Structure 1
């Protein structure tokens, strides 16, 4: 394979990164703690956690998981936490115990949570008390033997922690009532008086570190199996790629993306942890006033976000008061970056945005623009170090330069497969180790890649993948709906939102009722914003719904749901 892209790397960036530098995440953690023990590792709500403090707390948790709960190597532990100091303690505690992390979106509904807990076979869940009511509902349908509960203020120090917990409970009333017997309290586990060492575990590069769940094109979410080697490979590849901006220096970085997402966990936290960085954790990036205030308090060297976050920040009046004098790079991922958003960010901050491309199945990033790129080219960049990209036609042959085809990725960061889904694994991983992404792109003669289309029918709402088949399934459970199909429509703020096309069997069914029904089973960003009622859905001769035809119909009839809410579908 010709690797024309290598000629366009930043100076000094090699073809291959040193991805075998560590044998496991456990060894990586121990090396970083030994090297940076007195440095702050994370900051949250004005409280810092040092590398040595993280070492002690995560060792207590690891000891409890293995010696008290008697979990065995390879058992799964779900983490249902926002970006608080508890998250890195939980993550490294689970890893140091030789167990497997199952990241859970804290905003999941009970049905979504039930599926993930059942599919992963989690033996333990670590959960913020704010989400215990949802967990309680899920546990009516799936068994998880151990529940460890933490509160927002548990890692903020005694006085501030107590005040924060009172505020969260009694003033802001952010903790719905719950009652689960046999739960264990976080503080009693991680703050024992006597120091304990983490259990001695034998973990290698091929052992599983994460079951990272991603939406499925058909059916429920699938767990991508990411090994210690996969996770370390992407973190070390990015460390090599970022060397162009002096990544080895001590730095503060902003973590506004959720840590249950691979982009934040692997491409930010683990990557920067190796280098001795301090991550400023943003628990709720949707609160823009608090986010901008936190940005004003720190001089951070890097940040990462999805396009919608950059758009919102560029419009916030406080962004011009942020000191960006030490900021070397702003990275975007999760969704294509519209030029207008990059331009607005540049106008507000004077900084460019470096766009890239990746997916959960490659533990984060596979393609990125170089930092030294002189002129914006509007694409997703070149394959990163140690990574090969092929653009293939439908028949499997290689596309010629500038010809659109499906992106296939090979590298040390590519997942082992989908958990308990051998057929799905065989569908996307070939005998040569290439992953079929389902995304359509074109690569020019220099190896530069431009994204053309995304996975068939998939929407990206605020940087999160949304698969219409999951929404269809929820809608069709309503007794007043005969047929339903969800499609993505453009949205200036979120990139895309969901529009539900519904055929009623109850003529009195309203838009509000459909949305309320969806909200009961779906995370907020998956809930349709509008509903169109139609006489019939366009279908193929064999009865498959033509979503492309529905999207075209939306465009033809005016482009906004409110314009077409009573118009019939084309057949």
Structure 2
């Protein structure tokens, strides 16, 4: 017997086994009316209503539905209401500038655009055949009547297209199939020990590789979702205390925010001995990992992967063999990317690039066969990261692709350079990441001007007209010239060298 895997499997099981259990507690502080607490029965009803509404709009199977939203119950439901009945969800980073959002909506061919009310300004320049503001058009979005048209399911059908910043100025649309997402969610949940009693705090933006798969896994196992709209360290601790949170996924900057809040927290730190925090984006410093254990009393776990791999490739968590080691040495071992997850094969190429095979690698890049062929050359996914494998564990040593990871967000240095050079007074620009304790890497620009008087603030303001805030340089230095090879290529390794001196890895 063969039965197609599909993302609706997770919601179907939750509705069958836990219909009256609280599924999600919505963010109370948001511009749209909060949905409050929803049971799995109610969550499934809303998802079916969304699918029926898309039927009524005439959105065909495979039609794309773009959603630009902060974390919210409406976004969580859309993972099932859109993909579960054969359409394709396009979750868009809400931090992007209007021009970037417009490109994604147009490139994906989205027929429907759903926008958070706080992002209403996007509608001045971004449009689609059907446009709705979440919270103001809920009847039209989630209130479809009757049962939605049946979809038998095809596991190799695209379920989501997630746009990611790469080495080109334009983001690429990563096509993830139902099979990709199903297997990623199950493998991730297995390694993290997710169970029916888990309470997940959504400290990770759900648009990020579909919340790394936890919206599916926690739903399928009957756990509870606690929506956090915006990251704030003290608020994280309050939610952990109020809701009995046991699990969260986060970028390193979130870990830092929680540690900062803990230093002024009045009373015992909530979640001590109970919370597991799973970190990805870039490995935090060893001292930060040690503080997660010693200051917060939470269990630190780390994964490594890319949007293209759905994303889980490796997992690093405490082993009983490390029980007798001191805290710093345990933290050092946990700072590695980790061991291959179940079903993942890793190899390091002769040039040091990490290659991966798994059943949850992308189907391809949307409308970009050349990039797809290059990324999957030799039937391996080429991560663009440099690393080493030792004793079964992967350590990432540098980034072959010209991508900066700042606060867990991918920033294409080429994209930032193009924006800087568009300023009439800028003759040359090189953008690099430099180590930063809070953000992991700081977007830093080295600029050569035509002699016109120009300040760093002027250039940052210029960038903000074209780029999302997190992509804009946080530091700008003016140079007389940039180091180049004999063929004229900028030698970024020379620009990075002074900032990374003393660091064993060229990522932070």
Q: Tell me the TM-score normalised to structure 1 length.
A: 0.80
After superposition, where does 1:27-426 map in structure 2 within 5 Å? 27-45=9-27, 47-67=36-56, 69-139=57-127, 144-151=128-135, 185-191=137-143, 196-243=146-193, 247-262=194-209, 264-266=211-213, 268-285=214-231, 287-316=232-261, 317-318=264-265, 321-324=268-271, 327=274, 329-375=276-322, 376=330, 377=333, 378-394=335-351, 405-426=352-373
Decide whether the 8 Å contact of 1:381 with 1:450 is kept in 2.
yes
Q: 1:333 to 1:464 in 2, by over 3 A?
A: same
CA distance in 1, matches of 2:300, 2:499: 32
Q: 1:306 to 1:320 in 2, by over 3 A?
A: farther
CA distance in 1, matches of 2:273, 2:143: 36
1:402-423 per-position Cα deviation (integer Å, ceiling 9, x unaligned):
xxx2211111111111111111
Decide whether the 8 Å contact of 2:166 with 2:401 is kept in 1.
no
Decide whether the 8 Å contact of 2:435 with 2:499 is kept in 1.
no
CA distance in 2, matches of 1:448, 1:486: 31
Decide whether the 8 Å contact of 1:96 with 1:198 is kept in 2.
no
CA distance in 1, matches of 2:51, 2:124: 25
Q: 1:278 to 1:332 in 2, by over 3 A?
A: same
After superposition, where does 1:402-551 map in structure 2 within 5 Å? 405-431=352-378, 433-444=379-390, 446-551=391-496
Q: How much has 1:318 moved relative to structure 2? A: 2.4
CA distance in 2, matches of 1:441, 1:292: 35
The alignment yields a C-alpha RMSD, in angstroms, of 2.0
Q: 1:464 to 1:319 in 2, by over 3 A?
A: farther
Decide whether the 8 Å contact of 1:319 with 1:348 is kept in 2.
no
Q: Tell me the TM-score normalised to structure 2 length.
A: 0.90
CA distance in 2, matches of 1:74, 1:372: 43
State the match for 1:7 in structure 2.
Answer: none
1:337-389 per-position Cα deviation (integer Å, ceiling 9, x unaligned):
21111112222122331112111011021101244354232312210111111
State the match for 1:178 in structure 2.
Answer: none
- TM superposition outliers: structure 1 runs of 4+ over 6 Å: none
Q: How much has 1:134 moved relative to structure 2? A: 2.2
- The structure with more radius of gyration: 1
CA distance in 1, matches of 2:266, 2:366: 42
Decide whether the 8 Å contact of 1:43 with 1:280 is kept in 2.
yes
Decide whether the 8 Å contact of 2:240 with 2:271 is kept in 1.
no
Q: 1:146 to 1:265 in 2, by over 3 A?
A: farther
CA distance in 1, matches of 2:206, 2:197: 21
Return 5+ residue gaps in structure 1 as ranges. 1-19, 155-184, 395-404, 557-571
CA distance in 1, matches of 2:175, 2:89: 10
Q: How much has 1:551 moved relative to structure 2? A: 1.5
Find the residue that maps to 2:114 and give its secondary structure: strand
Q: How much has 1:263 moved relative to structure 2? A: 6.1
Find the residue that maps to 2:125 and give its secondary structure: helix
CA distance in 1, matches of 2:459, 2:412: 18
1:44-96 per-position Cα deviation (integer Å, ceiling 9, x unaligned):
235211111111111111111122x1011111110111111111122211113
Number of matched pairs: 481
CA distance in 1, matches of 2:320, 2:172: 36
Find the residue that maps to 1:138 and give its secondary structure: coil
Return 5+ residue gaps in structure 2 as ranges. 29-35, 323-329, 502-508
